Amino acid sequence: MDEHLTTDVIVVGAGAVGASCAAQIARSGLDAVVVESFDGPAEGSTGRSFASIRAQWADSLNIELSWRSIQTYRDFAKNHGIDVGYRASGYLFLVPDAAWPAQLDAVAMQREHGVPVDVLDLPAAVRITPFDPSGIAGATWGPADGVVDPHLATTAYLSVARASGARVLYRHPVRAIAADQETGGWIVEAGDRVVRAQYVVNAAGGWAGELAELAGMTVPVAHSRRNIYASAPGATAAPLPMTIDLGTGVFVRSEGSRLLFGAARPDQDDGYDVSVDWPWMERVLELAVPRFPWLADLPLDRSGCWAGTYENTPDHHGILGADPTAPTWVNACGFSGHGLMQAPEIGRLVAEQIAQGAITSIDTSALRLERFAAATQTNQLGLVF
């Protein structure tokens, strides 16, 4: 017989976004239950992410979400006594001639938000990461950007959630959802539990669309594979920060004594697939070696490579806030590769939506679900990879 639970909020998903939502909902004084289909936390997109975080964006909303989140990760140990693995290893953008004016405009906007960012000439940039400067006008450097440990961050937020009374249930895939006509909330069947909750938080990552379908709603989110390739240990003489060639989309950075590299495959089919795409590695090297000639000489190690997934929306930006037809259904999904990066602030805003009935501290209207129904939908947000 199914066990019945009653709670204020059920959070579906125990990745970084779901964990942050649960912690901040619980700290607001509401009862929360987290359900997760995997055996533990961060076993979906979060645990397979590239773990890089940056405040260098080309629009105010993403700058604010990311910069606030970076500061939260930076101060997490001081505020909660738990290390989340934040390292300010930096983030270097190599900007082609044609994109340089727009990049300088983005830097001005970032600085307006208090983000530390430097504009570098080519000799200064080459001293950080060696590269062929052909066709590059300049570089921008975010010294507070860097990495965070996705497993440490997720488990830290879940620890905070539990300390505030939240319950976390692994191996509890959601199998049915029905509107509760008596309360305006939801009846969720997950694993061997039936959970009655006033609110559902859809933090199911690449499965967010499937979760919404169970409730008769449409949330356009799909998995898209991303591949990370690796050198053998000890292949580089010195560690390199996250470096992106904006002309090709190729990125490189060190992880321990390995060099990691990759680029998004433009014709990648949607769907959950975490097998490594070995043929694509050859194409990535063809794109990368003209900019980073030394990469051609590095020994590669298949055992250090992996694949994960982005949880993509049609415009590659997240869906945040209450569903326009069901205000007790709150989406926090589809962040298209920057969920871990922005998880602290996403969780805070979800808690604000539920506790106060609306998100008012930041204008997040650009992330509302209903934008996809607009006849003149445009993507005005930049620097998405």
Residue with tokens 């063809």, as numbered in its chain: 286
Q: Which letter, b or e, does each residue of 252-291 get, where b requires 16 or more Cβ atoms within 10 Å of its Cβ?
A: bbbbeebbbbbbbbeebeeeeeeeebeebbeebbebbebb
What would be the CATH architecture of the domain defined by 3-48+150-221+315-373?
3-Layer(bba) Sandwich (3.50)
Separation in Å, CA 13 to CA 2, 10, 153, 314, 385: 20, 10, 15, 21, 24
DSSP notation for 46-90: GGGS--EE----SSHHHHHHHHHHHHHHHTHHHHHS-----B---
Separation in Å, CA 80 to CA 117, 198, 200: 28, 28, 26
* Percent of residues, the chain, with pLDDT higher than 70: 97
**In the predicted structure, residue 375 carries a pLDDT above the cut 90:** no
Domain spans of the chain, in order of start:
3-48+150-221+315-373, 89-146+223-310
Mean pLDDT of the chain: 96
Query: What's the mean pLDDT in 220-237?
Result: 95
**In one letter, which amino acid is 161?**
A
Model confidence at 162, pLDDT cuts 50, 70, 90, reads very high
**In the predicted structure, residue 309 carries a pLDDT above the cut 80:** yes
Give the global pTM. 0.96
Distance CA(19)–CA(200), nearest Å, equals 14
**In the predicted structure, residue 37 carries a pLDDT above the cut 80:** yes
**In the predicted structure, residue 377 carries a pLDDT above the cut 60:** no
pLDDT digits (tens, 9 = 90+) for 349-360: 999 999 999 999
Output phi, psi for 282, to 5 deg. -65, -40
- Helical H runs in the chain? 16-27, 60-74, 76-80, 100-112, 122-128, 150-163, 208-214, 278-288, 339-356
Model confidence at 236, pLDDT cuts 50, 70, 90, reads confident
Query: What's the mean pLDDT in 11-37?
Result: 98
What would be the CATH architecture of the domain defined by 89-146+223-310?
2-Layer Sandwich (3.30)
**In the predicted structure, residue 79 carries a pLDDT above the cut 60:** yes
Are both 3-48+150-221+315-373 and 89-146+223-310 of the same fold? Answer: no
* Percent of residues, the chain, with pLDDT higher than 90: 95
Classify 344 as helix, strand or coil. helix
